[in-house]
Structure 1
Amino acid sequence: MSNKHERHQAPSQPTAVVAMGGHAFIQAGERGSYEDHDRNARQICSELIVLVERGYRLVITHGNGPQVGELLLRQELTRDQLPSWPLDVLVAQTEGSLGYLMQRAMLNELHTRGINRYVVTMVTQVVVDRADPAFAAPAKPVGPFYPEDQARKAAAQYGWSIAEEAGRGWRRVVPSPLPQRIVQADMVREVLRSGNIAVAGGGGGVPVTIDGHGNYEGVEAVIDKDMTSSVLATNIGADLLVILTAVDSVYLDWGKPTQQRLGAVTMAECERLVNEKVFPPGSMGPKVEAVYGFLERGGQRGLVTSPRALREALDGRSGTHFIGRI
């Protein structure tokens, strides 16, 4: 089994891992219907195709916060009628459903442009440490935002842990242990070597531990998809880690008169941003930490931008560019 810090040789073409959030499937004002998810998946793939056109071998990862939260809510509402499934299985369900939408949308985008590649979606297991302190302090937000009174009522009724997220409202929170190793990393590399595209690590992957006999056991948690993307990028020897968000770049003092866009960030500057915890933990913080981890383990470049600004960012005209050790 490969070590979590092991960096493998990438295929001959440059490889990019692109991480998108679960909220990318649901735009402001949308209910989160199938039609909303499908339309947004198609829009995102129309932006991601630029990486394929520029010669990158591509791995797509995605979040699942709203989607897995809704599955959890459905279970609570039908608790008396239907048996419940553990959280790791629900994460796997979202890997399948969201992965299918991205796979189909990207296949159609490739077909439209006359590019002969396939897209493979993987239910990806990610090893975590059972002793991770995250299990004693749930902090990963999932599901929709609630007003405080509604969130507290749900917490009392369903036994949820809740927390406020960056002034946007209240959400359920669950354990979020750090990823140690991507079980299917070798399979992702094989997909890339065959010239095809992989959708992997959806929702941060399915968290598993290893018992005394070397068997995998699912655990009820959600892994941060940016952290999983960072470890996956290392494991497959990726050249570029792209983290997509709602804004075109990383900004200091976001929303204040002193707001300042970060264009290029050196390794030393990135380390300072992480160590000084400049960015909120529920917002830009994990994204910058994920990029820093990738660069620290030998990655070449990181990029934080929005889907719509991706093309300009690849040209150096937008986005925040993180530069690894030279």
Structure 2
Amino acid sequence: MKKIVLALGGNALGSTPDEQKNAVKITAKSIVDLVSEGNKVIISHGNGPQVGMINLAMDVASKSSANTPTMPFPECGAMSQGYIGYHLQNSIENELLKRNMTEDVVSLVTQVLVDSNDPAFENPTKPIGSFYTKEEAQEMSKNGVVFKEDAGRGYRRVVPSPKPVDIIEKNSVKLLYDNGTIVVAAGGGGIPVIREDSEYRGVPAVIDKDFTTAKLAELVDADVLIILTAVEKVAIKFGKPDEEWLSEMTVEEAEKYLEAKEFAEGSMKPKIEAALGFVKSGKNRTALITSLEKALDGLEGKTGTLIK
């Protein structure tokens, strides 16, 4: 039995609610495969496309004849946690029913503490929402929206991405986790909050879900952090004639590859950095990077990239 924390990418969830419902059925099978082997599982997920969609929809609605109130960005993050969590929770429950398994599943709206002095607030980098052409991005930038090119896939809006310091609801997550509940938590990297005097206050930002998931794995004393992405393994010299897919990396090797800029910003780089942070946070901790459908195979050492 292993204590596992899974990081599921937001782009893997589809761009519409119907697409997401279909996508999470596949996700649920992979998750329940892990649970059926006796493992304890927490799932965290991205929300970049979804929170961008919600934020844009609320902004458009606020300028329409409906006169809908403007919705602050932290509340948009909470909305995305709620509906993505519902879809994941529902699909996992349905998969458990098919297999006559009795584990409980719960989604928690989760706040994550960040430092108000984090330099990320002065340099927005986190992509959210849909992809746009260069021309579309330039036009929308006239309204003060910041765009950056995203790993060769087009242009996306970017917002500040501070590092997670602590997870406010960590004790509740750990209580559920230790008692065998499948927990969906810290969705979208968590709702970023800062502490002012004796209060937590939400701030307009998106924390990278891989860093938050690594912090969550550290706080609940997990054995393995699994970061699920679009590829089965991590590559160096990606896209070049001498491309090399890696089955294993030591911490030292991964740090060397990071220094050599082998991994793309906003794509594989934060996954490697998050994995390293977790592996270095305690003894006998490992991280696995692989594709969703290969999660169990990766855990069994058949595929994926293991960092140890």
Which residue type is aligned with residue 198 of structure 1? Answer: V
Distance 2:16 2:155 in 1: 21
- In the alignment, structure 1 segments of 5+ residues that lack a partner are 1-12, 27-31
In the TM superposition, what whole-angstrom CA distance separates every residue of 1:160-194 from its partner, at most 9, and x where no partner exists? Answer: 11100111100000000000001111111111122
Cα distance, 1:308 vs. partner?
1.5
Cα distance, 1:153 vs. partner?
1.1
Could you tell which deviates more after superposition, 160-169 or 70-79?
Answer: 70-79
**1:118 paired residue among 86, 100, 104:** 104
The alignment of Structure 1 onto Structure 2 pairs a total of residues equal to 304
Establish whether residue 166 from structure 1 lines up as the match of residue 148 from structure 2: no
Within 5 Å, give how 1:216-255 maps onto structure 2: 216-255=200-239
Establish whether residue 319 from structure 1 lines up as the match of residue 304 from structure 2: yes
Within 5 Å, give how 1:87-102 maps onto structure 2: 87-102=73-88
Secondary structure in 1 matching 2:242:
coil
Secondary structure in 2 matching 1:277:
coil
Distance 2:279 2:260 in 1: 18
**1:38 paired residue among 1, 12, 21:** 21
2:128 aligns with 142
2:3 aligns with 15
Which residue type is aligned with residue 26 of structure 2? Answer: Q
1:152 aligns with 138
Distance 2:56 2:106 in 1: 29
Establish whether residue 176 from structure 1 lines up as the match of residue 161 from structure 2: yes
* TM-score between both structures, scaled by the size of structure 1: 0.91
Secondary structure in 1 matching 2:30:
helix
Establish whether residue 66 from structure 1 lines up as the match of residue 49 from structure 2: yes
Distance 1:121 1:40 in 2: 18
In the TM superposition, what whole-angstrom CA distance separates every residue of 1:100-156 from its partner, at most 9, and x where no partner exists? Answer: 000000011111111111101000000000000111111100000000111111121
Secondary structure in 1 matching 2:292:
coil
Secondary structure in 2 matching 1:83:
coil
Cα distance, 1:85 vs. partner?
1.2
Which residue type is aligned with residue 250 of structure 2? Answer: T
Secondary structure in 2 matching 1:78:
helix
Establish whether residue 185 from structure 1 lines up as the match of residue 185 from structure 2: no
* TM-score between both structures, scaled by the size of structure 2: 0.96
1:9 aligns with none
- In the alignment, structure 2 segments of 5+ residues that lack a partner are none
Contact kept, 8 Å, 2:214 with 2:275, in 1: the verdict is yes
Contact kept, 8 Å, 2:59 with 2:71, in 1: the verdict is no
Distance 2:40 2:295 in 1: 16
Establish whether residue 302 from structure 1 lines up as the match of residue 287 from structure 2: yes
In the TM superposition, what whole-angstrom CA distance separates every residue of 1:249-307 from its partner, at most 9, and x where no partner exists? Answer: 10111121111001011122122233443211111000000000001111611000001
Distance 2:166 2:294 in 1: 31
**2:188 paired residue among 179, 203, 208:** 203
Could you tell which deviates more after superposition, 75-84 or 99-108?
Answer: 75-84
1:24 aligns with 12
**Backbone CA RMSD of aligned residues:** 1.2
Distance 1:82 1:175 in 2: 26
